[in-house]
Structure 1
Amino acid sequence: MIKPLSPTDAAARLDELWSPRVLAEVDDAYVKVAKVQGTLAWHSHADEDELFYVLKGALRIELEDGVVELGEGQMCVVPKGVRHNPVAEQECHLLLIERKSTRHTGDEVTGLTRSIDEQRRPL
């Protein structure tokens, strides 16, 4: 049976920062939610675009050639191959849409990097 989902409620229930969780699947993409604060890591995704939508708070996405500032209800797509570093000064809740092949921090591996199995854990 198809059930409605609330990305806002799902993100609020998360208890780990920078640990996205898969909320739904749409064809070859995952719809994820995350609770973030601080800095993730400079990284890129060679073959995948990444959509960031701010559910709550504000997110700064640092790019090699500038900065994108997002507030609640705003979104942007970081194109494949573009190095970026997400930063949230205060707690921020996100909805992310990424192809299933997208690795959390691209080729960079840090203590915050989460595998797809970790991201698929139940909320």
Structure 2
Amino acid sequence: MTTERTSARTPEPLSLDAVLASFTQRWSPRIVTTVNDYDVRVAHVEGEHVWHVHDHTDEFFLVLDGELHIALREPAGERTVVLTRGSLFTVARGTEHKPYAPVPTDILVFEPSGTLSVGDRHDEVPSHVDATTGHTLP
């Protein structure tokens, strides 16, 4: 498990296109800035993530490009939300969820600094998913 921390702010404007072009790993978020005690992370995603839960925080997703499906296990049953470019969704704390991208997709995630990408409780983490609190930019 990788757990890098940063308190980086962006002293100059930052191009998300340039940030996304600076790495190729899937399901391995990069911290682009912090806002108060929250990280703004971007990631390339494709295929399945892992069923997981964030017990104490919501998780905000914004699709920058591509398509993201988020399966949710809620008291009323399972459902899946589908996000396309420009769509956003917040998974409520305590909700078991599993992101899946059927095509290469770029996302932006907003959550408290130090939040593990595989949550507080999760299934076995597959080798293609980086269990991290986010990586600093090169």
Could you tell me the TM-score, scaled by structure 1's length? Answer: 0.90
Q: Give the CA deviation at 1:14.
A: 2.3
Q: Which amino acid aligns with 2:56?
A: D
Higher fraction of helix = 1
Which moved further from structure 2: 103-112 or 50-59? Answer: 103-112
> Could you tell me which residue of structure 1 aligns to residue 107 of structure 2?
94
Q: In percent, how many aligned pairs have the same letter?
A: 32
1:67 corresponds, among 80, 104, 109, to 80
2:130 corresponds, among 109, 113, 122, to 113
Match of 1:97, SS state, is: strand
Match of 2:20, SS state, is: helix
Q: Give the CA deviation at 1:104.
A: 0.8
Q: Give the CA deviation at 1:15.
A: 0.9
Is 2:32 the counterpart of 1:23? Answer: yes
2:58 corresponds, among 42, 49, 60, to 49
Q: Give the CA deviation at 1:5.
A: 1.4
Deviations 1:60-114 (A, max 9, x none): 0011221110000010000100011000011000011011132110122513232
Q: Give the CA deviation at 1:11.
A: 2.3
Q: Which one has the largest radius of gyration?
A: 2
